[in-house]
């Protein structure tokens, strides 16, 4: 049998091992924040933002940022229906109501016009999720945010390396959040990052991240507010700092893999993949293929075929409104509900060979050959 092709795994070199070992051996006492500070500074400079806070997860970063904006019981937060549960979880935890709107058909990101239509006096934020490295229409969203005085939050968990007209994903909204889960282009195993250009928001989130202990507080073990334990460990940050030394290499390789798939699959009629409009760069985190409905190529057919050839693949995100905890909200978004049934995420780890990618694309080509014979 052919060797297994995983849908994703991290790129870890001796540099990451060296830094992690140093943090484990020496990163204590006066050095307990050393790699955290180095990682935050490297990430801040990469994004060209004023402030960055390393966190235990992207979800935690989003939770703190929303709380710092004052989002709470009775408020509404607008987001796309096509999303991972982590984006909506902090909204629910804060007692606010998620308002699901449909996606654009080409980028699979939030439809700005529908987001504007959903604004009410209770709207406290719009979350712009850059799905699978695709970029939201940030010009339009920021225009809407300014018009209604509603902050735009960037969930850039999947968008390291994506650039919108010269600005990196995550750097444009009121704040941005990133994920360093083991599946991501840049990883710390688990972990995230909060970024912003707002000094007051930064100070609030920094305090929330460390049990509510303010940076300037001189009393030992004194908390200024009820916070969270959402800090990243020094050992995780050591891995992240090493990854930042290789960030261009990591992004470039992801883009190469996406480019290979696009070159070999978009030539097939009725196939679309991750969007890269003029003036933008797609970081290529998760190459995704969507098949026109008339082709009859479904998620279940694709998964079965990939399993037959010892290849992992991921399903497209289900609409959040279809999950049991949100079904009573009575949201129905046609594009979000339809696209998941005829889409697939393709394997894209950094050390994939061309032969690996040929095996993946050959399966899809075979489905078209089968359909042409019917």
How far is residue 61's CA from residue 81's CA, in Å, rounded to a whole number?
Answer: 21
Phi and psi at 311, nearest 5°, equal: -125, 130
Digitized pLDDT (tens) for each residue of the chain, 374 residues in all: 689 999 999 999 999 999 999 999 999 999 999 999 999 999 999 999 999 999 999 999 999 999 999 999 999 999 999 999 999 999 999 999 999 999 999 999 999 999 999 999 999 999 999 999 999 999 999 999 999 999 999 999 999 999 999 999 999 999 999 999 999 999 999 999 999 999 999 999 999 999 999 988 889 999 999 999 999 999 999 999 999 999 999 999 999 999 999 999 999 999 999 999 999 999 999 999 999 999 999 999 999 999 999 999 999 999 999 999 998 877 889 999 999 999 999 999 999 999 999 999 999 999 997 654 43
CA 191 from chain centre, in angstroms, equals 12
Structure tokens at 76: 């509404």
Q: Hey, which residues does 53 pair with through a beta bridge?
A: 194
Which DSSP category does 78 fall into? E
- Residues shown for the chain: 374
Domains of the chain: 14-101+108-245 (3.40.640.10), 248-373 (3.90.1150.10)
Quote the pLDDT of residue 373: 42
Tell which residue, 212, 229, 188, 213, has the closest CA to residue 43: 188
**Beta carbons of 118 and 141 less than 8 angstroms apart:** no
Quote the pLDDT of residue 340: 94
CB atoms within 10 A of CB 189: 15
Q: What is the signed CA dihedral for 152, 153, 156, 160, rounded to 10 degrees?
A: 70
């Amino acid at each position: 049998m052919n060797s297994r092709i995983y849908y994703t795994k991290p790129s870890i070199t001796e540099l990451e091992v060296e830094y992690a070992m140093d943090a484990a051996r020496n990163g204590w006492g006066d050095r307990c924040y050393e790699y955290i500070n180095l990682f935050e500074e490297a990430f801040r400079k990469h994004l060209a933002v004023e402030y960055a806070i390393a966190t235990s997860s992207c979800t935690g970063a989003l939770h703190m940022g929303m709380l710092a904006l004052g989002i709470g019981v009775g408020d509404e937060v607008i987001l796309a229906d096509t999303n991972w549960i982590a984006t909506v979880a902090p909204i629910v935890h804060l007692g606010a109501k998620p308002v699901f709107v449909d996606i654009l058909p080409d980028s699979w990101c939030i439809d700005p016009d529908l987001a504007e239509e959903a604004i009410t006096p209770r709207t406290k934020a719009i979350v712009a999720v850059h799905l699978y490295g695709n970029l939201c229409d940030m010009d339009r969203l920021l225009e809407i945010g300014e018009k209604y005085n509603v902050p735009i939050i960037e969930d850039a968990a999947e968008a390291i390396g994506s650039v919108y007209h010269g600005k990196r994903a995550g750097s444009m909204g009121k704040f941005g959040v990133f994920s360093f889960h083991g599946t991501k282009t840049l990883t710390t195993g688990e972990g995230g990052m909060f970024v912003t250009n707002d000094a007051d928001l930064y100070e609030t989130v920094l305090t929330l991240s460390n049990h509510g202990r303010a940076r300037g507080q001189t009393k030992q073990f004194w908390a200024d507010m009820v916070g969270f334990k959402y800090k990243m460990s020094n050992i995780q940050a050591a891995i992240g700092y090493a990854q930042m030394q290789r960030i261009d290499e990591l992004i470039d390789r992801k883009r190469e893999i996406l480019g290979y798939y696009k070159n070999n699959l978009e030539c097939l009629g009725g196939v679309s993949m991750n969007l890269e409009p003029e003036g933008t760069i797609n970081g290529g985190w998760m190459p995704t293929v969507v098949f026109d409905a008339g082709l009859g190529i479904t998620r279940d057919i694709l998964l079965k075929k990939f399993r037959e050839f010892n290849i992992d693949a991921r399903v497209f995100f289900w609409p959040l409104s279809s999950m049991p905890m949100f079904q009573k909200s009575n949201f129905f978004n046609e594009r979000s509900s339809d696209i998941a049934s005829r889409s697939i995420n393709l394997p894209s780890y950094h050390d994939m060979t061309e032969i690996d990618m040929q095996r993946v694309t050959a399966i899809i080509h075979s489905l078209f050959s089968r359909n042409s014979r019917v």
